[in-house]
C-alpha cells in the first residue's frame, strides 16, 4: 500500500542526491506498508514522484523506511502534478495512476 509524505523542497532535494542511501523516520508507521511499496513525496501542494522502499522496519522509529535516491520516479504526462493540501505524518495514496504496474 503506497503512502504519501509531505515535506519541504530542500528535504526532497537532499533525498534525491545521486547514489544516496536514504532513510525516513516515523513514530507511527502505516500498518499495510511493505518492502517494495512506493513512498510518494509531496512538496508545496503537489505530489512530485516516488521512491521504491528497499526496507521497511516499523519497529525502528529512526530508520522506518530505507530507499536509494536512484529509485526516484518523477510524475510525468497527464498526471504531472497531483495536487494536495499540506498534511503531517503520512496518507495512503488516494488517486489512480496510469503508470501503475499491474
In the chain, where the domains are located: 3-91
pLDDT at 72: 93
Q: Could you tell me the pTM of the whole model?
A: 0.85
Instruction: Name the nearest CA neighbour of 53 among 40, 77, 76, 36.
Output: 36
Instruction: Name the nearest CA neighbour of 66 among 78, 79, 56.
Output: 56
69 contacts 20 by C-beta, under 8 angstroms: yes
Instruction: Name the nearest CA neighbour of 82 among 37, 34, 50.
Output: 50
As a whole number of angstroms, the distance between CA 41 and CA 59 comes to 22
Mean pLDDT over all residues of the chain?
Answer: 86
Q: List pLDDT tens digits, range 12-61.
A: 999 998 888 999 999 899 988 999 999 999 998 888 899 999 999 999 98
Amino acid at each position: 500500500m503506497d503512502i504519501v509524505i509531505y515535506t519541504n523542497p530542500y528535504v526532497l532535494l537532499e533525498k534525491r542526491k545521486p547514489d544516496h542511501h536514504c532513510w525516513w523516520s516515523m513514530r507511527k508507521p502505516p500498518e499495510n506498508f511493505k518492502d517494495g511499496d512506493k513512498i510518494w513525496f509531496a512538496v508545496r501542494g503537489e505530489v512530485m514522484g516516488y521512491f521504491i522502499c528497499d526496507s521497511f522496519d516499523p519497529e525502528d522509529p529512526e530508520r522506518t523506511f530505507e530507499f536509494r535516491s536512484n529509485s526516484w520516479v518523477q510524475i510525468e504526462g497527464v498526471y504531472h502534478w497531483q495536487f494536495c493540501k499540506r498534511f503531517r505524518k503520512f496518507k495512503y495514496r488516494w488517486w489512480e495512476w496510469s503508470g501503475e504496474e499491474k
